[in-house]
Amino acid sequence: MTSLQNLELAVDEACCAPSGQAVLSAEDAQRKALVFKALADPNRLRLLSIVKGAGGGEACVCDLTEPLDLGQPTVSHHLKILVDAGLLHREKRGTWAYYSLVPGAIEQTAGLLASL
């Protein structure tokens, strides 16, 4: 991570410019692309799907490793990308880390498409 240190909640930031009919600026395109990059991996899409359908709307890493058939470090890595993109929320309780959908983030991302 070089110049893009702390770009959490990319979903929020990706819709700051007035938007509308003008051509997407390079900067706005960059921000929006970050969100879609997070969605551009089959395993990450499945992670979102599993978390969405999980009981209580949250799941811990141990629940996610097996269905994806991936190692724990890899799952942890994907989850971090989804958190950085503003799509997932992470809450640590005791030894476990619980991940849940950020409310409205999916809809907001869909909105990014409409405001192209």
Partner DNA sequence: CACATGGATTGACATTCATCGATATAGTTG
Partner DNA sequence: CAACTATATCGATGAATGTCAATCCATGTG
From a copy of itself, DNA, none, interface partner of 78 (C-beta below 5 to 8 A by class): DNA
Does position 39 interact with a copy of itself (CB under 8 A)? The reply is yes
| Cα–Cα distance, 52 to 72 (Å, whole number) | 20
Residues 32 and 109 sit within 8 Å (Cβ to Cβ): no
For a copy of itself, give the closer residue by CB, 1 or 110.
Answer: 110
Closest CA to 40 of 81, 76, 10: 81
Closest CA to 115 of 39, 37, 11: 11
Selected binder of a copy of itself within 7, 9, 12, 30 (CB under 8 A): 30
Give the footprint of DNA on this chain (CB under 7 A): 37, 40-41, 43, 60-62, 70-74, 76-81, 90, 94-97
8-state DSSP, 87:
S
For DNA, give the closer residue by CB, 73 or 103.
Answer: 73
